[in-house]
């Protein structure tokens, strides 16, 4: 299946992907308003700036997702290869935050956890990929086991 | 001292309704213009550091930024302009030569814009390039004056080594050191895909790029940086650089801070040392000396590769070109004074040399007059800005053109003319790894291919309109050109009629 | 009745077992026996149900068609009373016998209520473990009711948080000198105590109830307390009776090997809060009563019951929980060298020993990306192979060697 991959040789650490993500998963149709009025979501992609390198990290949609196995509410499931959180079931205990070895599940305003769902609910094109100014983030099939 | 205060050249206009303080502008500005003031809770700018490279404007996710000239002005004078005054203050403060980059911004006549092209009507009808073959392939090198055939009708004439170009456009010399490795990679890959050539410039050839040798012109300049036998043999042709349009009569100086490990290795000089190209080649003081160097490199490459001699367009360019043509060179590249540079003394760049249009016409005319035009191919360089400039250059007598500034534009350059600072925000004219990263060769090479492909389409359209279906038939075809608003002397030098004639 | 697989218990370990079996055996018959009559639900969610954050249907641990999709027969509302490992039969309270091929004991634990004089005279006395407890409390609670909670552990405090929504006046007493001793150290427990007190909960520590006279408690400090509702949340005891009746080895809990097979008997496995695990952060064996552990053990048991070889070797305590908006994530043991950052309610404490991360306490804003630390414990990562200094500042993948990082980022790998 197609996943989001980042090339750390190309990532500039501009952090714009975080904003495009936060916008795409928020509720406001106008980009600048989303942030000016706080109608943005918490970004589900995280750009790391460490030791002179930059790279964006987001859910790897693991074969054996720790977040899903450990979820106390049974709110996390894998649908067509995409690990998803059912926000209606999630109680925001953050056992998933505790579990994800990549640090890719984020606390979303106290009541629920959020994570990258490959923009399946936002038209299918991951907005971090679309917004990357240097082609560092790609959405492609790499033929590993799903 | 107050006199050393220079008002910002540019104003950073930020629409605070739209600015979301994402700080992308701050992270992406190597000049450290933008900053976040946590007390005010908003983005501010050190405007006097801005060079108007437009990087921040282009990446701002909300379109909140605008850069425009600072309206603060000294008392107006058409003679003592503000830049002249500022330059005087600056030099009074430092005692230094002024440095600039890229082509001169001065308002000299651009003859391309005073030449119009012909098209066919009724008789000799135009050709539709979408329906009929349209040849833009060019061969650069000596052309035999006679062809001999043996008894069986097989060609008996030994053809001189030549270059085959699918498009009449090559990328001109930009050294590794003056531009980044990613920029070089982009040019090399684009040349390969296009079936044309890029030029190493005088900085040698990085080991990673030997694989693009079939589409590489390797340059030998006065500093002889990175020149060795394998280097000479790595390329498809060798270019001896005698001069550069933007700075005729001047050598080059790449400061030590740009000589990082890889650049040093490629140039075969110690890391951190200044790379100084002398003004002359210290072994060339005559056409005979040039001939010696030409044959030295031919010898080293077993006479398999054509040799290009690149000269700057100066006052007596026609006579010089005649000498070069007789020195054994296969191709002459002429570089006009509006051409770009990674760094040049401002006064030289803005005042020395002549326009490529006049130089090209003069050289082509002279070589024809002397009956040696077939001995060499001519490549025109130095501000070929678009496809119609290329068509006009070919009609004025060029076999092909070199482009560099449009190539840089394809890769993102916004002509802020700050290459000499080494802080290119677009990752082109820099060796800072953080900045070099910003040029993704996978993207940039495709953009270069797109640019040249688009130009080639336009060249075919223009040729078709003229009723010409081969670029060879356009070369030196000055009947296809008419001057507009030019005086008798200019028309005479260009060898063209005035519009209406 | 005869089934290839029989599971006693109907919570996380049972779900893990069912899913584990079905990975390898799509057909073998499975039965689930539980004394509770409900569809599989998440026990820890009862406090959220009481609070009103989730509905009963949304607290189901697996979708409504879970049993059907997995071909599971349910024997709900039926209590298993003993196991005969010779005849391979589970005896139910109703007198029925269920024959098994392979048996999983996922019996969990029961609340422990210490003997206190007059406890039986108390009206509206509850534990806080099961759905029925919530139903009982919901009926009994009135706005402004006085609630006495015995036990300042996870269960007691979750109950307190839920009851705040009813405007109850709450007092929590505990014999210990601090709250949440199982997951917090002294310093962080004080921070949490202050946070909870700010929401109107009153703590009486170093204290227990000596006796009750109807709804008045006499405390060990002599104080008398009146209350409307009593919640006992002192602790739990594993349900080991079935394992004992089958002849399995039982100490603090049911003893199993790494494949979750119960020691001393054949064809019986056990998983979850009723079992003893070997804690990789301390090397000691004890009950690690957390849901992730239960699920993982159940899954491993399921794999083995279906004939596949699998081992559970990564047990260690970990908890993610929040009280009145202040979140904590903790794991492992709090021994060895400590790196700490304390900024009000935002706390980070990392404990390392023998060049390994052995535990951490994160509170407030510092919980972000905690899983990177958890993975260091789970994988027993040698800290000399990572930039630990960088990791202390913030959990980040940049601290890993380039190859390791690229393996993660490029392959999108399996955790």
Cβ contact B205:B226 at 8 Å: yes
Are domains A1-58+120-141 and A61-115 of this chain identical in fold? Answer: yes
Chains A and B touch (3+ CB pairs under 8 A): yes
Domain membership flag for residue C293: yes
Q: Domain holding C67: CATH number?
A: 3.50.50.60
Strands B115-117 and B138-140 come out as: unpaired
pLDDT of residue C403: 87
In this prediction, residue A146 has a pLDDT band, given cuts at 50, 70 and 90, of very low
pLDDT of residue B181: 96
Domain membership flag for residue C245: yes
Of the listed ranges B292-301, B369-378, C112-121, the least confidently predicted one is C112-121
Q: Where are the domains of chain A?
A: 1-58+120-141, 61-115
Q: Does C296 touch chain A (CB under 8 A)?
A: yes
- Does the domain spanning B138-476 belong to CATH 3.40.50.300? no
Tell me the nearest-neighbour CA distance from C387 into chain A, angstroms.
10
Q: Point out the domain boundary residue: C201, C235, C269.
A: C235
Chain A positions in Cβ-Cβ contact with residue B23 (cut-off 8 Å): 15
Which residues in chain C (324-343) have CB-CB distances under 8 A to chain A? 325, 327, 329, 331
The 10s digit of each residue's pLDDT in C392-408 is 999 999 999 888 888 87
Q: Which CATH architecture has domain A61-115?
A: 2-Layer Sandwich (3.30)
Mean pLDDT of C180-203: 96
**In Å, how far from its chain's centre is CA B403?**
5
One domain, residues C67 and C139: no
Domain membership flag for residue C203: yes
Which residues in chain A (74-93) have CB-CB distances under 8 A to chain C? 74, 88-89, 91-93
Domain membership flag for residue C320: no
For residue A49, how many C-alpha atoms fall within 13 Å in the half-sphere facing its CB? 6
Cβ contact B428:B183 at 8 Å: yes
One domain, residues C157 and C262: no
Q: Does A133 touch chain B (CB under 8 A)?
A: yes
Nearest to A70 among C292, C387, C406 (CB): C292
Nearest to B438 among A20, A31, A134 (CB): A134
Nearest to A14 among B24, B440, B443 (CB): B24
B338 conformational bin, left if phi > 0, alpha if psi -120 to 50, beta if neither = alpha
One domain, residues C283 and C367: no
One domain, residues C219 and C123: yes
Cβ contact B333:B308 at 8 Å: yes
pLDDT of residue A142: 83
Nearest to C291 among A5, A51, A72 (CB): A72
Instruction: Name the average pLDDT for chain A.
Output: 91
Per CATH, the number for B2-96 is 3.30.70.20
One domain, residues C23 and C61: yes
Cβ contact C56:C37 at 8 Å: no
Complex ipTM value: 0.95
Nearest to A12 among B17, B61, B437 (CB): B437
Residue B261, strand partner residues: none
pLDDT of residue C413: 45
pLDDT of residue B489: 98
Chain B positions in Cβ-Cβ contact with residue A13 (cut-off 8 Å): 27
Tell me the nearest-neighbour CA distance from A38 into chain B, angstroms.
10
Q: What is the CA radius of gyration of chain B?
A: 24
Cβ contact B235:B173 at 8 Å: no
In this prediction, residue A127 has a pLDDT band, given cuts at 50, 70 and 90, of very high
Cβ contact A119:A24 at 8 Å: yes
Q: Does A8 touch chain B (CB under 8 A)?
A: no
In 3-state terms, what secondary structure has residue B328?
Answer: coil
Chain A positions in Cβ-Cβ contact with residue B28 (cut-off 8 Å): 12, 14
CA–CA separation, B435 vs B447, rounded Å? 19
The two tokens of residue C262 are 């119960």
CA–CA separation, B180 vs A108, rounded Å? 42
Burial per residue of B36-51, b for 16 or more beta-carbon CB atoms within 10 angstroms, e otherwise: eeeeeeebebebebbb
Q: Where are the domains of chain B?
A: 2-96, 138-476
Cβ contact B53:B414 at 8 Å: yes
Of 2.60.40, 3.30.70, 2.170.270, 3.40.50, the CATH number of A1-58+120-141 is 3.30.70
Nearest to A8 among C321, C371, C409 (CB): C409
Q: Point out the domain boundary residue: C235, C250, C271.
A: C235
Q: Which chains does C contact via 3+ CB–CB distances below 8 A?
A: A
Which residues in chain B (19-78) have CB-CB distances under 8 A to chain A? 19-20, 22-24, 27-28, 59, 61-62, 64
Mean pLDDT of B405-412: 98
3-state SS record for chain C: CEEEEEEECCCHHHHHHHHHHHHHCCCCCEEEEECCCCCCECHHHHHHHHHCCCCCCCCECCCCCHHHHCCEEEEECCCEEEEECCCCEEEECCCCEEEEEEEEECCCEEEECCCCECHHHCCCEECCCCHHHHHHHHHHCCCCCEEEEECCCHHHHHHHHHHHCCCCEEEEEECCCCCCCCCCCHHHHHHHHHHHHCCCEEEEECCCEEEEECCEEEECCCCEEECCEEEECCEEEECCHHHHHHCCCECCCECECCCCEECCCCCEEECCCCECEECCCCCCEECCCCHHHHHHHHHHHHHHHCCCCCCCCCCCCEEEEEECCEEEEEEECCCCEEEEEEECCEEEEEEEECCEEEEEEEEHHHHCCHHHHHHHHHCCCCHHHCCHHHHHHCCCHHHCCHHHHHHHHHHCCCC
Instruction: Name the average pLDDT for chain C.
Output: 94
Name the domain count of chain C.
Answer: 3
Mean pLDDT of A92-106: 95
The 10s digit of each residue's pLDDT in B115-153 is 999 999 988 899 999 999 999 999 999 999 888 999 999
Mean pLDDT of B422-436: 95
For residue C59, how many C-alpha atoms fall within 13 Å in the half-sphere facing its CB? 21
The two tokens of residue B150 are 């043996």
One domain, residues C94 and C121: no
Q: Does A143 touch chain C (CB under 8 A)?
A: no
pLDDT of residue A110: 59
pLDDT of residue A50: 77
Q: Is B175 exposed, middle or buried (0-12, 13-18, 19+ CB in 10 A)?
A: buried
Residue C72, strand partner residues: C30
Tell me the nearest-neighbour CA distance from C161 into chain A, angstroms.
13
Instruction: Write phi, then psi, for C381 (nearest 5 degrees).
Output: -65, 130
Distance in angstroms between the alpha carbons of the first and the last residue of chain B: 61
For CA atoms C271, C273, C275, C278, the dihedral sign is: positive
In 3-state terms, what secondary structure has residue A44?
Answer: coil
Q: Which residues contact C209 (CB under 8 A, 6 or more apart)?
A: C116, C148, C150, C173, C217, C218, C219, C220
Does the pLDDT value for residue C411 go beyond 70?
no
The two tokens of residue B377 are 């191919």
pLDDT of residue B128: 94
Mean pLDDT of C7-23: 97
Domain encompassing residue C392: 325-411
Domain membership flag for residue C314: no
In this prediction, residue C414 has a pLDDT band, given cuts at 50, 70 and 90, of very low
């Amino acid at each position: 299946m197609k996943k989001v991959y980042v090339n750390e040789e190309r990532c500039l650490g501009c952090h714009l992907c975080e904003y495009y993500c936060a916008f795409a998963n928020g509720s406001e149709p106008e980009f600048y308003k989303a942030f000016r009025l706080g109608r943005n979501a918490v970004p589900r992609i995280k750009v790391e700036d460490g030791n002179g390198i930059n790279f964006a990290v987001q859910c790897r949609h693991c074969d054996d997702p720790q977040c899903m196995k450990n979820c106390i509410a049974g709110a996390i499931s894998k649908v067509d290869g995409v690990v998803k959180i059912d926000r209606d079931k999630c109680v925001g205990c953050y056992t998933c935050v505790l579990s994800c070895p990549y640090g890719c599940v984020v606390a979303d305003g106290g009541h629920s956890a959020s994570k990258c769902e490959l923009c399946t609910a936002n038209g299918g094109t991951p907005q971090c990929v679309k917004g990357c100014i240097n082609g560092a983030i790609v959405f492609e099939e790499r033929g590993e086991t799903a | 001292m107050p006199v050393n205060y220079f008002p910002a050249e540019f104003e950073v206009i930020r629409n605070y309704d739209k600015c979301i303080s994402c700080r992308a502008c701050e992270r992406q500005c190597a000049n450290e213009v933008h900053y976040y003031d946590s007390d005010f809770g908003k983005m501010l700018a050190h405007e006097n550091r801005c060079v108007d490279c437009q990087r921040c404007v282009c990446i701002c996710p909300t379109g909140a930024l605008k850069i425009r000239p600072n309206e603060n002005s000294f008392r107006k004078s058409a003679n003592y302009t503000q830049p002249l005054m500022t330059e005087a203050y600056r030099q009074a403060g430092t005692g230094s030569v002024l440095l600039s980059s890229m082509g001169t911004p001065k308002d000299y006549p651009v003859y391309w814009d005073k030449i119009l092209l012909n098209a066919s009507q009724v008789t000799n009808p135009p050709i539709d390039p979408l329906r009929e073959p349209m040849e833009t392939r060019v061969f650069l090198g000596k052309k035999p004056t006679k062809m001999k055939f043996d008894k069986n009708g097989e060609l008996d004439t030994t053809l001189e080594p030549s270059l085959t170009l699918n498009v009449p456009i090559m990328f001109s010399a930009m050294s590794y050191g003056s531009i980044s490795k990613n920029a070089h990679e982009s040019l090399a890959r684009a040349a390969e895909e296009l079936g044309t050539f890029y030029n190493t410039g005088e900085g040698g050839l990085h080991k990673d790029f030997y694989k693009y040798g079939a589409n590489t012109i390797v340059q030998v300049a006065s500093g002889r940086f990175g020149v060795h036998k394998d280097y000479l043999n790595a390329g498809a042709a060798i270019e001896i650089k005698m001069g550069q349009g933007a700075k005729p009569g001047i050598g080059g100086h790449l400061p030590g801070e740009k000589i990082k490990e890889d650049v040093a290795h490629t140039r075969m000089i110690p890391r951190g040392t200044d790379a100084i190209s002398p003004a002359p080649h210290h072994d060339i003081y005559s056409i005979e000396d040039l001939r010696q160097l030409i044959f030295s490199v031919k010898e080293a490459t077993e006479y398999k590769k054509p040799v290009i001699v690149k000269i700057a367009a100066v006052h007596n360019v026609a006579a010089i070109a005649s000498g070069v043509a007789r020195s054994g060179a296969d191709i002459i590249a002429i570089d006009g004074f509006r051409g770009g540079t990674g760094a040049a003394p401002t006064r030289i760049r803005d005042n020395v040399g002549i326009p490529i249009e006049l130089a090209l016409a003069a050289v082509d005319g002279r070589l024809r007059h002397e009956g040696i035009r077939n001995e060499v191919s001519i490549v025109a360089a130095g501000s070929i800005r678009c496809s119609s400039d290329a068509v006009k250059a070919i009609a004025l007598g060029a076999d092909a053109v070199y482009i560099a500034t449009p190539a840089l534009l394809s890769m993102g350059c916004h002509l802020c003319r700050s290459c000499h600072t080494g802080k290119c925000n677009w990752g082109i004219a820099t060796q800072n790894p953080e900045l070099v990263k910003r040029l993704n060769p996978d993207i940039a090479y495709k953009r270069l291919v797109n640019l040249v492909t688009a130009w080639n389409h336009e060249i075919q359209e223009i040729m078709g309109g003229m009723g010409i279906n081969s670029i060879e038939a356009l070369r030196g075809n000055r009947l296809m050109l008419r001057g507009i608003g030019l005086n008798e002397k200019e028309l005479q030098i260009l060898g063209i009629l005035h519009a209406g004639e | 009745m005869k089934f290839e697989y029989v599971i006693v218990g109907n919570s996380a370990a049972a779900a893990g077992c069912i899913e584990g079996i079905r990975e390898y055996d799509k057909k073998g018959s499975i039965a689930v026996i539980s004394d509770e009559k409900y569809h599989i639900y998440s026990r820890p969610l009862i406090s959220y149900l009481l609070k009103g954050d989730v509905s009963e249907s949304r607290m189901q641990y697996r979708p409504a068609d879970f049993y059907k999709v997995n071909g599971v027969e349910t024997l709900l509302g039926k209590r298993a009373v003993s196991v005969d490992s010779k005849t391979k039969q589970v005896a139910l309270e109703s007198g029925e016998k269920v024959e098994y091929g392979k048996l999983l004991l996922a019996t969990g634990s029961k609340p422990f209520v210490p003997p206190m004089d007059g406890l039986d005279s108390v009206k509206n006395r509850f534990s806080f473990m099961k759905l029925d407890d919530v139903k009982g409390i919901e009926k009994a609670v009135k706005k402004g009711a006085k609630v006495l909670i015995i036990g300042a552990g996870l269960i007691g405090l979750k109950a307190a948080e839920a009851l705040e929504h009813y405007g109850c006046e709450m007092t929590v007493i505990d014999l210990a000198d601090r709250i949440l001793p199982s997951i917090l150290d002294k310093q962080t427990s004080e921070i949490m105590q202050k946070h909870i007190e700010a929401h109107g909960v009153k703590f009486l520590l170093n204290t227990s109830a000596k006796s009750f006279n109807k709804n008045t408690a006499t405390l060990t400090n002599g104080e008398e307390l009146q209350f409307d509702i009593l919640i006992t949340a002192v602790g739990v005891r594993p349900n080991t009776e079935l394992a004992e009746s089958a002849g399995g080895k039982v100490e603090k809990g049911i003893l199993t090997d790494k494949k979750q097979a119960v020691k001393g008997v054949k064809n019986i496995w056990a998983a979850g809060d009723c079992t003893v695990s070997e804690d990789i952060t301390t090397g000691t064996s004890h009950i690690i009563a957390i849901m992730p552990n239960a699920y993982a053990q159940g899954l491993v048991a399921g794999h083995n019951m279906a004939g596949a070889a699998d081992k559970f070797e990564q047990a260690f305590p970990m908890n993610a929980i929040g009280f009145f908006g202040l979140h904590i994530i903790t794991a492992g043991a709090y021994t060895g060298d400590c790196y700490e950052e304390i900024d009000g309610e935002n706390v980070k404490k990392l404990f390392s020993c023998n060049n390994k991360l052995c535990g951490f306490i994160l509170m407030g804003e510092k919980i972000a990306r905690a899983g990177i630390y958890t993975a260091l414990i789970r994988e027993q990562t040698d800290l000399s192979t990572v930039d630990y200094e960088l990791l202390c500042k913030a959990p980040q993948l940049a601290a890993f060697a380039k190859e390791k990082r690229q393996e993660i980022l490029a392959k999108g790998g399996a955790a």
